Amino acid sequence: MTRTVGYLGPQGTYCEEAVLHIYSKTDVCLQPFTGIDDAIRAVGSGTVDESIVPVENSLEGSVNITLDTMAHDVNLYITKEIVLPVRHNLLMKKGSEEIAVIVSHPQALAQCRKTLGKLYPKAKLKPVESTAAAARIVATCDGLCAAVGSLRAGEFNGLTVAASNIQDIASNSTRFIGLQRQPIVCEPGNCKTTLVCQINGEQPGSLYNLLGEFAQRQVNLMRIESRPARTGLGMYIFFFDIEGSIAESNIAAAISAIEKKCLWYKNLGSYPVYHVEK
Amino acid sequence: MTRTVGYLGPQGTYCEEAVLHIYSKTDVCLQPFTGIDDAIRAVGSGTVDESIVPVENSLEGSVNITLDTMAHDVNLYITKEIVLPVRHNLLMKKGSEEIAVIVSHPQALAQCRKTLGKLYPKAKLKPVESTAAAARIVATCDGLCAAVGSLRAGEFNGLTVAASNIQDIASNSTRFIGLQRQPIVCEPGNCKTTLVCQINGEQPGSLYNLLGEFAQRQVNLMRIESRPARTGLGMYIFFFDIEGSIAESNIAAAISAIEKKCLWYKNLGSYPVYHVEK
């Protein structure tokens, strides 16, 4: 049976670009979702075999809905990470000259704010649900609007590229993760492991003691992200990205020690990282 | 001269509610801003004496634009914190029956999603820029729409309350901070101190070593939040909220030790915390 892979659609999103770096359209059945949480829940319910969703951007930070859905609403595992360099383009209808409104996903607008302010100081920035939806809106507008989005989104909607690489900071990239119902076995080498847990924040030094379990075993903590535990202000859960696989003994030992110290804990899996070339 | 206080407007926002807990309209000149970053930058440029903006919600987490603007774009100090319990209401025009669209700020919609799904399973949720703007939109709509917002926003726009306390989790509250150009002196007792810094993340254990400066001096870390350093994926700055004032010797010593270990560092000040009664 053909494998079904969900992603944050519609067609032409950066998320689709990440999916197509891993899968060919002829090998899998791609299913776009309008919301990140819908794409994730579809894996949990068995509607799709895997979903690929954004989890972090180098300028805008974590995609909270991805972290919160993984922590609170489903029991899935991360099976791959794809790092995609983000190059935004200003897309408009052929023959457009004046631009009164620029539409895009709020994060894309934020990532280009300085450049857009220089190019079109009078244009109003208007957030819409995705960069791909923005391109679709421009294709049907009166010619006074433009979209920030990918080259694919522009081609897909018959738009021209008025300016390319308009992101304010060149080193802009987004991390996407693939989620499945079962964990994979990730052999050591180019592997990451993600945990999420809640500690007793009322004990001073509890986070310090937890990080000590990594430090004393030379486990490299690549990222720590706190999110509300949703049990009240001042109570948090923590996501830890660590370098390496649970197949390595020092990492397995650190994780086992951390599990004992937490009020609540989930191992989200060990997985390989793919970098899309610039 | 009358003191001018900026806040995230328009009139009727929860932010205005927080401001009015501290200031009376007869004593200060209140100035609403449409964007959080505009409100913060207005303090830096001297347009207002102080701005009060949201920084964290107990369900949705940090308000990233507040943290990023404070870290990267201005040099201001936190001079107060106001914790406001959030009670969302469903507001509609008098005589409305069918509801096809529910508008509000994306965070407010997220905080009521389950309740709204039960009350109006077919209604479409549409994000707009603020809860107050949502109420204004409903006041001028065709009667098929409703807004999620505060009682003040409802009164202000002549709407009726179709359902009150519709947030999914009762313990929902938002932290607001006041920002000024000069730090205040906060005497020990009911005080918090906030730092932001960048550490050398390539050295394993660097965050652990930093937290050790707090732990060995019995300084209680209340919150840690990472945000992108904006210099590339995997590089972060950290916000630390600690219990107490820099006027306390152990806290002053910890901060001084941390300053020496960081690549970059800002002390955002010690400040009192005000809780609005439920």
Sequential DSSP letters for A156-183: HTT-EEEEE---SSTT-EEEEEEEESS-
Give the mean model confidence (pLDDT) for residues B59-81: 94
Report the residue from A171, A221, A234 with minimal CB separation from B232: A171
- The verdict on A68 and A113 lying in the same domain is no
DSSP string spanning B37-52?
Answer: HHHHHHHHTTSSSEEE
- The verdict on A198 and A263 lying in the same domain is yes
Q: Is B186 a domain residue?
A: no
Q: Which structural domain, as residue segments, surrounds residue B240?
A: 191-275
pLDDT band (50, 70, 90) for residue B253 = very high
Q: Is A227's CB within 8 Å of B61's CB?
A: yes
Chain A contact for B234, CB < 8 A? yes
pLDDT averaged over every residue in chain B: 92
d(CA A251, CA A269): 12
C-beta of residue A248 within 8 angstroms of C-beta of residue A198? no
Chain B contact for A46, CB < 8 A? no
Q: A227: which chain B residues are within 8 Å (Cβ-Cβ)?
A: 61
Q: A127: which chain B residues are within 8 Å (Cβ-Cβ)?
A: 127
Residue A124 token pair = 């109003």
Q: Is A278 a domain residue?
A: no
Q: A210: which chain B residues are within 8 Å (Cβ-Cβ)?
A: none
Q: Is A277 a domain residue?
A: no
- The verdict on B135 and B250 lying in the same domain is no
d(CA B130, CA B139): 14
Residue B195 token pair = 């730092």
Helical (H) or strand (E) element with B265: strand B264-275
CATH number at residue B250: 3.30.70.260
Give the mean model confidence (pLDDT) for residues A210-219: 95
d(CA A172, CA A86): 6
Q: To probe the interface with B, which of A174, A208, A221, A250 has the most B CB atoms within 10 Å?
A: A208
pLDDT at A278: 67
Domains held by chain A: number: 3
List B residues 8-27 in contact with A (Cβ-Cβ < 8 A).
none
- The verdict on A203 and A255 lying in the same domain is yes
Q: Which amino acid is at A71?
A: A
Q: Is A100 a domain residue?
A: yes
- Residues B105-125 pLDDT 10s: 888 898 898 999 999 999 999
Q: Among all residues of chain B, which has the CA nearest to that of A240? A: B226
Instruction: Calculate how close chain B gets to A272, using CA atoms only, in Å.
Output: 16
Give the mean model confidence (pLDDT) for residues A245-267: 95
- The verdict on B238 and B141 lying in the same domain is no
d(CA A227, CA A238): 6
- Residues B14-45 pLDDT 10s: 999 999 999 999 999 999 998 899 999 999 99
pLDDT band (50, 70, 90) for residue B10 = confident
Interface confidence: ipTM more than 0.90: no
d(CA A205, CA B218): 8
List helix spans (H) across B140-248.
151-156, 206-215
pLDDT at B203: 79
- The verdict on A159 and A259 lying in the same domain is no
DSSP 3-state assignment of B259?
Answer: helix
Burial class (CB in 10 A: 0-12, 13-18, 19+), A203: exposed
pLDDT band (50, 70, 90) for residue A212 = very high
d(CA A62, CA B67): 13
Is the confidence at residue B204, as pLDDT, over 90? no
Q: Is A276 a domain residue?
A: no
- The verdict on B51 and B110 lying in the same domain is no
Distance of CA B222 to the CA centre of its chain: 16
Q: A232: which chain B residues are within 8 Å (Cβ-Cβ)?
A: 58, 171
Chain B contact for A234, CB < 8 A? yes
Nearest residue to A242 via CA among A274, A196, A200, A275: A196
- Which one of A148-157, A264-273, B12-21, B142-151 scores highest in mean pLDDT? A264-273
- Residues A136-170 pLDDT 10s: 999 998 878 999 999 989 998 999 999 999 998 88
Residue B206 token pair = 């660097």
Q: Is B227's CB within 8 Å of A58's CB?
A: no
Q: Is A228's CB within 8 Å of B64's CB?
A: no
Determine the Cα angle at A226 with ends A216 and B269, to 5°. 95
pLDDT band (50, 70, 90) for residue B271 = very high
pLDDT at B278: 67
Q: Is A15 a domain residue?
A: yes
Residue A21 token pair = 């770096």
Q: Is A103 a domain residue?
A: yes
- Give helix B206-215 / helix A206-215 axis angle, nearest 10°: 140
Give the mean model confidence (pLDDT) for residues B141-146: 87
Chain B contact for A173, CB < 8 A? yes
- The verdict on B230 and B133 lying in the same domain is no
The percent of residues in chain A predicted with pLDDT above 90, rounded, is: 74
Chain A contact for B223, CB < 8 A? yes
Q: Is B207's CB within 8 Å of A227's CB?
A: no
Give the mean model confidence (pLDDT) for residues A240-267: 95
Residues A147-165: b if buried by 16+ CB within 10 A, e if exposed: bbbbbbbbebbebeebbee
Comparing B74 with A12, which gets the higher pLDDT? B74
pLDDT at A135: 94
Report the residue from B83, B204, B226 with minimal CB separation from A224: B226
- The verdict on B14 and B79 lying in the same domain is yes
- Give helix B64-72 / helix B36-44 axis angle, nearest 10°: 30
d(CA A226, CA B62): 9
- The verdict on B208 and B244 lying in the same domain is yes
pLDDT averaged over every residue in chain A: 92
DSSP 3-state assignment of A141?
Answer: coil
DSSP string spanning B134-180?
Answer: HHHHHHTS-SSEEEEE-HHHHHHTT-EEEEE---SSTT-EEEEEEEE
- The verdict on A220 and A153 lying in the same domain is no
CATH number at residue A68: 3.40.190.10
